[in-house]
């Protein structure tokens, strides 16, 4: 079940900016609104199954054994119980109202007891899903997760190539690269799902998103980074600029997309099928094949085409490349376009396999950093190797370690690589200290 | 539109506890970024360890002063852990490592295995009672001028917060005018030159990181006392960039910069929010955005400010451009 899309068109972003500027002048003075009182005491959350909100689930709260509030989840699975004030509440999810085939992951964490102060809002989680499949061995689980890891790793690798190449060629660490990923998914969402879009099939929406991602990369380079290079803006200032851009783009997307996680109209829910010993959804097979094929194609293009060779030459030694007649500015522009397109493709694929949300790229950003640093910052092959390694290792770690630590391991890998072998697995030694 | 209400909201925010705490954190970050040229993107982690050091100690039965001491000590340890392996890295790598360390701490504190100690995603509360018991003002009364009033409890936190800001500024005044401060600035301008003069660049950077981190931890404690509730998700990466906006707004490498920056930041942010809220409630914006989007607007403003300031006025409003040349690779 998916909530009706309420996304507003991209032009709204521009209007919004205009509105921000004009807001001060808007409208005549009207009598004061009454002050909003203290926020009401409440609990709330979202009931999700496999990323989708589950509507119509009944929840109720009790105080001293008396029911004081009751609600049902909305279309997107969100719920909120307004409570009379401070106290120790017992919040129960009515298991009978869950749809067929879903169950609480931790039945012993229902009902939940919660202490609230007056005016406090507390989020409560009732995670749904199958309990860890009993009867399947550790090896089978590791195998399943390994395939999931290859899928995520290939997506991360795709998305991170641009980050790595742009660093290699211009020395810029682009903290807004995550937003290039989100941008791709958002464009596909706009075309595929949104009420204001044409609602074309995802197979049409995805190429549009990739083209839009390339244009976005072009716009960033021509509109922002080339002028800044001309002004000889320094490295630290540029990093701070990308941070500001990242904040700006991400939160404009938050306003446009809303805070929920969404799915595309096609391929949203698929039951896993068995391929030999591995359980995997068919769409994930397609994603793996597609992503690996694109990775190979990028590798071949870098190796065999003139532009690819020029890119590697500029990344290796800009002055020498310029001296031997390579148009460095053009190579930089092509890199931004290609990086933007690949990031957008990564975003679309991630949206298909997980979900589309305003902060998906930012959540991937540090993982992408880990991938490119592990593989060797500045090279495309490093991003590929690092992405696959990070994906597989972090997913399979769940077999032995709590899932909470998955990202911790990824970030530790990033830090340890910088300390022990800062040039990465495939990088060539250079001074970074 | 009720512009008086907007001005009131904005002024209340500019004087309030968050402005004080953010100023304090920004003073610490200014020492890193403005004076030493360290691109610390994990500053929020210092606020986290300060707040949790206090909360966990009091939760375990310790007195509040011990909690504050533990919080500060935790910041010293974090500064050393963060700095010892990473300060030899170039600025961009340092940024990535510090942002990753900040996220690692947040993820660890909210993880289920840590829940007995940190409360996990539920957070912790009830550690601030001793602080409010020592409140010299009347808790229920309102203090202030005209319509601009604060409750006794809020005023007590504000007193402590702004008091710490003044103390920290005085401390920095003495430090940055000393030979120690001159070495810091020389490291910012040209690390190799400082090293070739026989200065232990690494040691100075580490001292700067630890001292600024302690100020960050104190800011975290002030915020935690005000909220009386800590949750790991209060310590997201984005807040570090609020501090950067404040430092750059006020002028990196200036003493008054973080204070001016924080007051301005909160005045602008809260004023805009209040203005937009009125405009939305009266339907002027025609459903373009609604009140739930106001949190996003706050970050859009911060992002825009960062880009524009960094491109057109990197010395901030009051900074001196010639003073600040932290542009070399």
Model confidence pLDDT, tens digit, residues A136-158: 577 888 888 899 899 999 999 99
**A234 and A317 inside one domain:** yes
Pick from B37, B90, B96 the residue to mutate for testing the A interface (most A CBs within 10 Å).
Answer: B96
**A314 and A399 inside one domain:** yes
Confidence of residue A22 (pLDDT cuts 50, 70, 90): very low
B245 closest CA partner among B166, B310, B158, B198? B310
Q: What's the confidence (pLDDT) of residue A136?
A: 59
Residue A429: is its pLDDT beyond 80?
Answer: no
Q: What's the confidence (pLDDT) of residue A23?
A: 35
Last residue of a domain, one of A95, A123, A151: A123
Residue A343: is its pLDDT beyond 50?
Answer: yes
Chain B residues closer than 8 Å to A236 by CB:
37, 39, 91, 326-327
Determine, for residues B241 and A247 on separate chains, whether the beta-carbon distance falls below 8 Å. yes
CATH number at residue A55: 2.60.40.10
- Which is more confidently placed, A92 or B302? B302
Among residues 78-97 of chain B, which lie with CB inside 8 Å of chain A? 85-86, 88-93, 95-97
Residue with tokens 């089978």: A140
Nearest 5°: the CA angle A261, A266, A272 is 85
Model confidence pLDDT, tens digit, residues A379-411: 888 889 999 999 999 989 888 888 888 889 999
Nearest 5°: the CA angle A125, A127, A128 is 150
Determine, for residues B300 and A247 on separate chains, whether the beta-carbon distance falls below 8 Å. yes
**A119 and A160 inside one domain:** no
Pick from A247, A411, A418 the residue to mutate for testing the B interface (most B CBs within 10 Å).
Answer: A247
Q: What's the confidence (pLDDT) of residue B324?
A: 55
**A117 and A170 inside one domain:** no
Structure tokens at B187: 């490291």
Size of interface A-B (CB pairs under 8 A): 190
Strand A273-275 with B142-145, pairing: unpaired
Give the range among A5-19, A95-109, A151-165, B25-39 with minimum mean pLDDT: A5-19
pTM, 2 dp: 0.80
The span from the CA of A155 to the CA of A284, in Å, is: 11
Determine, for residues A234 and B328 on separate chains, whether the beta-carbon distance falls below 8 Å. yes
Determine, for residues A120 and B229 on separate chains, whether the beta-carbon distance falls below 8 Å. yes
Q: What's the confidence (pLDDT) of residue A121?
A: 80
Residue A33: is its pLDDT beyond 90?
Answer: no
Domain range for A110 is 40-123
Residue A1: is its pLDDT beyond 70?
Answer: no
Residue A10 touches chain B, beta carbons under 8 Å: no
Among residues 393-432 of chain A, which lie with CB inside 8 Å of chain B? 402, 404-405, 407-408, 411-412, 414-415, 418-419, 422, 432
A49 phi-psi bin (left φ>0, alpha ψ -120 to 50, beta other): beta
Q: Which residues contact B149 (CB under 8 A, 6 or more apart)?
A: B142, B143
How would you write the pLDDT of chain B (329 residues) with one tens digit per residue?
A: 788 999 999 999 999 999 999 999 999 999 999 999 999 999 999 999 999 999 999 999 999 999 999 999 999 999 998 888 888 888 888 898 899 999 999 999 988 888 899 988 889 998 999 999 999 998 888 898 888 889 999 999 999 999 999 999 999 999 999 999 999 999 988 888 999 999 999 999 999 999 999 999 999 999 999 999 999 999 999 999 999 999 999 988 899 999 999 999 999 999 999 999 888 888 887 777 788 888 899 899 999 999 999 888 888 877 666 555 544 43
Confidence of residue A309 (pLDDT cuts 50, 70, 90): very high
Query: Domain for residue A118, yes or no?
Result: yes
Is the previous residue joined to A111 through a cis bond, with omega within 30 degrees of 0?
A: yes
* Number of domains into which chain B is organized: 1
Q: Which residues contact B85 (CB under 8 A, 6 or more apart)?
A: A415, A419
**A111 and A154 inside one domain:** no
The span from the CA of A125 to the CA of B233, in Å, is: 15
**A110 and A197 inside one domain:** no
Query: Domain for residue B285, yes or no?
Result: yes
Q: What's the start-to-end Cα distance of chain A, in Å?
A: 52
Q: Is B263 exposed, middle or buried (0-12, 13-18, 19+ CB in 10 A)?
A: buried
Rounded average pLDDT over A75-87: 80
CATH number at residue B119: 1.10.3470
Residue A10: is its pLDDT beyond 60?
Answer: no
Query: Domain for residue B328, yes or no?
Result: no
**A264 and A303 inside one domain:** yes
Confidence of residue A128 (pLDDT cuts 50, 70, 90): confident
CATH number at residue A236: 1.10.3470
Domain range for B17 is 3-138+145-323
- Which is more confidently placed, B322 or A80? A80
Query: Domain for residue B181, yes or no?
Result: yes
Contact between A262 and A193 (Cβ < 8 Å): yes
Q: What's the confidence (pLDDT) of residue A232?
A: 85
Residue A56: is its pLDDT beyond 90?
Answer: no
Nearest 5°: the CA angle A119, A52, A266 is 145
Confidence of residue A65 (pLDDT cuts 50, 70, 90): low
Structure tokens at A123: 């989020």
Q: Is A238 exposed, middle or buried (0-12, 13-18, 19+ CB in 10 A)?
A: buried
**A352 and A222 inside one domain:** yes
Model confidence pLDDT, tens digit, residues A317-339: 889 999 999 999 999 999 999 99
Q: What's the confidence (pLDDT) of residue A247?
A: 95
Is the previous residue joined to B223 through a cis bond, with omega within 30 degrees of 0?
A: no
Q: What is the least distance, in Å, from the CA of B228 to any CA of chain A?
A: 10
Query: Domain for residue A79, yes or no?
Result: yes
Residue A297: is its pLDDT beyond 60?
Answer: yes
* E strands, chain B, in order: 124-125, 142-145, 148-151, 229-230
Residue A80: is its pLDDT beyond 80?
Answer: yes
Q: What's the confidence (pLDDT) of residue A189?
A: 95
Query: Domain for residue B329, yes or no?
Result: no
Chain A residues closer than 8 Å to B232 by CB:
none
Query: Domain for residue B129, yes or no?
Result: yes
Query: Domain for residue A30, yes or no?
Result: no
**A234 and A93 inside one domain:** no
**A179 and A64 inside one domain:** no
Query: Domain for residue A131, yes or no?
Result: no
Among residues 317-376 of chain A, which lie with CB inside 8 Å of chain B? 366, 369-370, 373
Last residue of a domain, one of A91, A123, A155: A123
Supply the mean pLDDT for chain A: 82
Confidence of residue A24 (pLDDT cuts 50, 70, 90): very low
* Number of domains into which chain A is organized: 2
**A117 and A145 inside one domain:** no
**A112 and A203 inside one domain:** no
Q: Which residues contact B8 (CB under 8 A, 6 or more apart)?
A: B147, B148
Determine, for residues B111 and A404 on separate chains, whether the beta-carbon distance falls below 8 Å. yes
- Which is more confidently placed, A51 or B122? B122
Contact between B187 and B36 (Cβ < 8 Å): yes
**Ranked by mean pLDDT, which of A283-292, A339-348, A404-413, B277-286 comes out on top?**
A339-348
Q: What's the confidence (pLDDT) of residue A376?
A: 83
Distances (CA, A) of A270 to A2, A53, A281: 14, 16, 6
Residue A244: is its pLDDT beyond 90?
Answer: yes
């Amino acid at each position: 079940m998916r909530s009706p899309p309420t996304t507003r068109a991209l032009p709204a972003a521009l209007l919004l900016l205009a509105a921000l500027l004009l807001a001060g002048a808007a409208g005549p003075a009207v009598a004061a609104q009454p002050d909003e009182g203290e926020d009401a005491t409440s609990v709330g959350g979202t009931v999700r199954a496999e990323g989708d909100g589950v509507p119509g689930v009944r929840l109720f709260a009790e105080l001293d054994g008396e029911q004081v509030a009751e609600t049902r989840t909305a279309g997107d699975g969100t719920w909120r119980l307004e409570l009379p004030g401070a106290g120790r509440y017992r919040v129960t999810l009515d298991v009978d109202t869950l749809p067929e085939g879903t169950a609480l992951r931790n039945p012993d964490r229902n009902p939940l007891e919660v202490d609230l102060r007056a005016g406090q809002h507390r989020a409560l989680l009732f995670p749904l899903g199958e309990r860890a499949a009993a009867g399947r061995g550790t090896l089978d689980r590791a195998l399943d997760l390994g395939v999931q890891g290859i899928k995520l790793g290939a997506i991360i690798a795709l998305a991170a190539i641009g980050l790595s190449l742009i660093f290699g060629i211009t020395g810029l660490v682009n903290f807004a690269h995550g937003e290039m990923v989100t941008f791709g998914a958002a464009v596909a969402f706009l075309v595929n799902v949104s009420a204001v879009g044409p609602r074309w099939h995802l197979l049409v929406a995805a190429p549009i998103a990739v083209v839009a991602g390339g244009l976005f990369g072009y716009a960033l380079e021509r509109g922002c980074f080339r002028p800044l290079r001309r002004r000889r803006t320094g490295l630290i200032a540029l990093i701070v600029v990308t941070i500001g851009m990242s904040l700006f783009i991400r939160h404009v997307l938050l306003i446009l997309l809303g805070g929920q996680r969404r799915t595309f109209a096609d391929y949203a829910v698929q039951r896993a099928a068995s391929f030999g010993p591995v359980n995997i959804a068919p769409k994930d097979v397609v994603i793996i094949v597609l992503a690996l094929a694109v990775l190979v194609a990028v590798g071949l293009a870098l190796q065999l085409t003139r532009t690819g060779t020029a890119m590697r030459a500029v990344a290796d030694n800009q002055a020498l490349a310029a001296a031997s007649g390579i148009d460095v500015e053009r190579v930089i522009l092509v890199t931004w376009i290609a990086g933007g397109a690949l990031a957008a493709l990564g975003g679309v694929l991630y949206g298909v396999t997980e979900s589309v949300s305003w902060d998906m790229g930012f959540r991937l950003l540090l993982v992408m950093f880990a991938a490119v640093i592990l593989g060797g910052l500045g090279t495309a092959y490093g991003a590929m190797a690092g992405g696959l390694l990070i994906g597989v290792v972090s997913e399979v770690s769940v077999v032995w370690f709590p899932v909470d630590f998955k990202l911790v391991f990824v970030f530790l890998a990033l830090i340890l690589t910088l300390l022990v072998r800062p040039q990465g697995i495939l990088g060539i030694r250079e001074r970074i200290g | 539109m009720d512009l008086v209400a907007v001005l009131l909201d904005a002024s209340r925010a500019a004087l309030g506890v968050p402005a004080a705490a953010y100023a304090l954190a920004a003073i610490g970050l200014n020492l890193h970024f403005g004076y030493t040229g360290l691109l610390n993107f994990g500053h929020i982690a210092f606020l986290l360890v300060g707040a949790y050091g206090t909360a966990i100690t009091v939760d375990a039965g310790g007195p509040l002063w011990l909690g504050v001491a533990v919080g500060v000590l935790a910041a010293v340890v974090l500064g050393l852990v963060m700095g010892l392996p990473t300060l030899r890295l170039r600025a961009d790598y340092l940024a990535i490592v510090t942002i990753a360390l900040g996220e690692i701490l947040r993820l660890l504190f909210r993880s289920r295995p840590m829940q007995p100690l940190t409360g996990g995603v539920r957070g912790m509360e009830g550690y601030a009672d001793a602080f409010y018991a020592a409140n010299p003002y009347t808790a229920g009364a309102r203090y202030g001028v005209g319509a601009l009033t604060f409750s006794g409890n809020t005023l007590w936190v504000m007193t402590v917060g702004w008091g710490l800001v003044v103390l920290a500024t005085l401390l920095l005044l003495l430090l940055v005018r000393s030979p120690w401060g001159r070495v810091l600035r020389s490291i910012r301008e040209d690390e190799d030159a400082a090293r070739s003069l026989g200065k232990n660049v690494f040691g100075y950077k580490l001292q700067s990181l630890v001292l600024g981190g302690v100020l960050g931890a104190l800011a975290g404690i002030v915020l935690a006392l005000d909220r009386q509730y800590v949750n790991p998700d209060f310590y997201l990466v984005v807040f570090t960039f609020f501090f950067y906006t404040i430092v750059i707004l006020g002028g990196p490498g200036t003493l008054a910069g973080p204070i001016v920056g924080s007051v301005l930041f909160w005045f602008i942010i809260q004023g805009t929010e209040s203005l937009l809220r009125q405009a939305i409630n009266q339907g002027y914006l025609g459903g373009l955005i609604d009140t739930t989007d106001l949190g996003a607007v706050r970050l859009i403003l911060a992002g825009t400010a960062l880009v524009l300031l960094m491109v057109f006025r990197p010395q901030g409003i009051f900074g001196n451009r010639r003073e600040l040349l932290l542009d070399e690779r």
